[in-house]
Amino acid sequence: MSDAAVSPAVNEDETALATPFVKCLVRLIRAQDSYGSWEGQSDAELLADFIVTREQRRAIPIIGDPDPDVLWRLDLFYTAVGLAIEECSGLMASPMMEMSHEGFGCVLLTTGRLVVLSKTLRDVHRFGFETLRKLAAAGTKLVDDAIAVIEAYPDVARA
């Protein structure tokens, strides 16, 4: 296959899949595959449910209770952020989430005595990203911001 045959979207997906954050996310998903039923699936296939296109989003009611699958993906997403932070900084970042049954709440990631990420969650039942690239960008941004906070307060992150 020559380079010319590769569409820009495929190239974009490959770049997204190569980011440390998405690699962490895929690793977490594969770690839950106790029976090897996902072994034949590519990384992009495993992440398919994280992708919610504009049309799909429009089809989801504005108000709705998040189902266990979307809560599982949300949890994976923030755990992967924590894992990627740990890879970068060597400090364990543990996520903590609190949510109402309606999908409103917040998530915290802490290392030592430092809050490295604090985010309000809303419309969790529609959690997803338009493309793999946007998924990778969103996770990577959270990781980078957290690393910047750790660098600003290194002693607190180790306290």
Residues forming the site for a copy of itself (CB under 8 A): 96-98, 106, 108, 110, 112-116, 118, 149, 153, 156, 159
> Residue 34 is encoded by which pair of tokens?
């106790």
Which residue, 47 or 116, is less far from a copy of itself as judged by CB? 116
Least distance in Å: CB of 96 to a copy of itself? 5
Report the residue count for the chain.
Answer: 159
Least distance in Å: CB of 148 to a copy of itself? 12
Rounded to 10°, the helix 8-17/132-152 angle is: 30
- The one-letter code for the residue type at 144 is D
- DSSP letter at 67 equals P
CA distance 152 to 156: 9
Which residue, 59 or 96, is less far from a copy of itself as judged by CB? 96
Least distance in Å: CB of 98 to a copy of itself? 5
Which residue, 47 or 93, is less far from a copy of itself as judged by CB? 93
Which residue, 22 or 146, is less far from a copy of itself as judged by CB? 146
CA distance 157 to 133: 30
